[in-house]
Amino acid sequence: MNLPDPLIASNDRQLFVDNHLIDSLEHMHIHQHTPSPRETCLTLNRPWEGETSWCPVVIKDGDKYRMWYRSQDEQQDTGGFNHTFTAYAESEDGICWQRPNLGLFNFNGSTDNNICVDNPNTKNIAVFLDERPGVPESERYKAAGRWSGGKPARIYGLVSPDGIHWQNAGDGPLVVASEDDPNFDSPVSAFWDARQGCYVLYARGWFPNGNEPRMRAIRMTTSPDFIHWDPWQYIRIDGKTRFDYQLYTNAVHPYARAPYYFAFPKRFIATRKALPDWGHEGLSDVLFLASRDGLNFTQPYTDAFMRPGLDQNNWHERSIFIGPRVVSTAPGELSLYSVQNYRTPNAHIRRFTLREDGFVSVRADARTGVLTTRPFTFTGNQLEINYSTSVAGSIRIALLDEAGDPLPKFALDDCPHIFGDEIARTVRWENVNAINVAPNQPIRLLFELIEADLFSFRFFDPD
């Protein structure tokens, strides 16, 4: 019998956002969860803001939550373009937000505002905390944003010691678009990728070759130093680079709890219109994508991750948008920040929540469902799961050898029924206190679910 080469799980948390570890599913399915709407964080009604303010980026820095967002005053045109600022807000809990009076830039004769960037070269900036070893304190924060002055498009960089006071990163642009694909015209995403040891930048591109009929898509590039960038590559989703829909934004970011890259691209359907009197064609919602390398993505569920919903002010061409990054705001809770009611007088930034790892689960109903993994190796002597059951539901888990036979003392019948709702449950088998498997010995896991969701698992060593 030819057995497949075992995968390596190490002690990394494993989510079910792809089929990487799944060998078989019986009476179970992949279920995508939708974020729950919470409170409005900011209503974008300041004189320097306006109906087309958007692109929030939220970072938790120590005990403070920090937000940067596009503040676009449509009443002041500069060279034919609406004047765009970057504004700043902060919060102690990620829920209640304040606009500090920064006193840095003049707007209508006053510096009483929260504008932190007024730079025509950097529209829709993507801020990140640079955790590269040895980065100078003066460059602890970095940002990338697009120049909106024409074609070919350019992306410029900014650096800052504190996220408030910014200066240009170098004398010129980070990237200049090629003549055959000359547009970057939407928010970019950027970050230091500690996993791969490089900076990563995502931006919009166009198919085919930047020409009509145009189809918006996502491309990425990497850099060792934030100055010199590699050639662009278009991301692949389930092996494809072209789709039946357009990807208006990307919102790619590394997930802090597990070695994945997640994306919340705005899906743009140009041929639909819900509001007869609306002045623009098209509708938008948000998808969820996942990747293990930042280039090859999967779409675990074909439905939208965020729909426009009952609010009719979201049923138009560019309304809803989720910013890159998710942050922890309470034990077991992740927060996402979305612009709603774009291009209306009620434009605002709203918080949405999910449970930790709660993007996708494997789900079983009242029929007994079984998931069997592919063979893999791991480190650790305990198994932790993130799960939820009904009061009648349960989960049991077996450890199998590479051929699929139960390991002694770790069969299903050795595992008591697990029920409840926990982010981190340590699995116990009868008469054993630890998982004693030889180093590098491949195993499989068998999960039995009844009326249950399984979000993630990981092996760990409590010592």
CB-based contacts of 163, cutoff 8 Å, min separation 6? 61, 66, 68, 88, 116, 127, 141
In the prediction, which pLDDT does 3 show? Answer: 56
pLDDT tens digits, one per residue of 243-268: 888 999 999 999 999 999 999 999 99
C-beta atoms surrounding 169 within 10 Å: 20
Look at residue 2 and tell me if it is in a domain: no
Q: Domain check: are 376 and 350 in the same one?
A: no
Closest CA to 336 of 138, 41, 22: 41
Q: Domain check: are 170 and 51 in the same one?
A: yes
Domain holding 369, by residue range, is: 7-33+360-460
pLDDT tens digits, one per residue of 330-348: 999 999 999 999 999 999 9
Number of domains in the chain: 2
Look at residue 84 and tell me if it is in a domain: yes
Give yes or no for residue 76 having a pLDDT over 80: no
Q: Domain check: are 194 and 150 in the same one?
A: yes
Q: Domain check: are 160 and 69 in the same one?
A: yes
- Could you tell me what percent of the chain has a pLDDT over 70? 96
Distance of CA 234 to the CA centre of its chain: 18
Q: Distance between CA atoms of 114 and 400, rounded to whole angstroms?
A: 58
Look at residue 188 and tell me if it is in a domain: yes
In the prediction, which pLDDT does 149 show? Answer: 76
Q: Domain check: are 396 and 269 in the same one?
A: no
- Quickly state the pLDDT bin for 80 (edges 50, 70, 90): very low
Mean pLDDT, residues 375-387 taken together: 97
Residue at which a domain ends, from 313, 331, 355: 355
Q: Domain check: are 328 and 214 in the same one?
A: yes
Q: Domain check: are 157 and 266 in the same one?
A: yes
Query: Which H, E and C letters describe 368-428, residue by residue?
Result: CEEEEECCEEECCCEEEEEEEEEEEEEEEEEEECCCCCECCCCCHHHCCCECCEEEEEECC
Closest CA to 73 of 62, 63, 64, 84: 84
Look at residue 1 and tell me if it is in a domain: no
Look at residue 444 and tell me if it is in a domain: yes
Look at residue 389 and tell me if it is in a domain: yes
4-18, 53-67, 115-129, 352-366: segment of lowest average pLDDT: 4-18
Residue at which a domain ends, from 355, 388, 412: 355
Average pLDDT, the chain: 93
- Quickly state the pLDDT bin for 78 (edges 50, 70, 90): very low
This prediction's pTM? 0.95
In the prediction, which pLDDT does 81 show? Answer: 45
Q: Domain check: are 193 and 237 in the same one?
A: yes
In the prediction, which pLDDT does 1 show? Answer: 39
Mean pLDDT, residues 129-141 taken together: 97
Q: Distance between CA atoms of 252 and 323, rounded to whole angstroms?
A: 9
Q: Domain check: are 187 and 273 in the same one?
A: yes
Q: Distance between CA atoms of 90 and 69, rounded to whole angstroms?
A: 11
Residue at which a domain ends, from 355, 370, 389: 355
Look at residue 370 and tell me if it is in a domain: yes
**CATH number of the domain to which 217 belongs:** 2.115.10.20
In the prediction, which pLDDT does 180 show? Answer: 81
Q: Domain check: are 315 and 369 in the same one?
A: no
Q: Domain check: are 389 and 331 in the same one?
A: no
Q: Domain check: are 309 and 162 in the same one?
A: yes
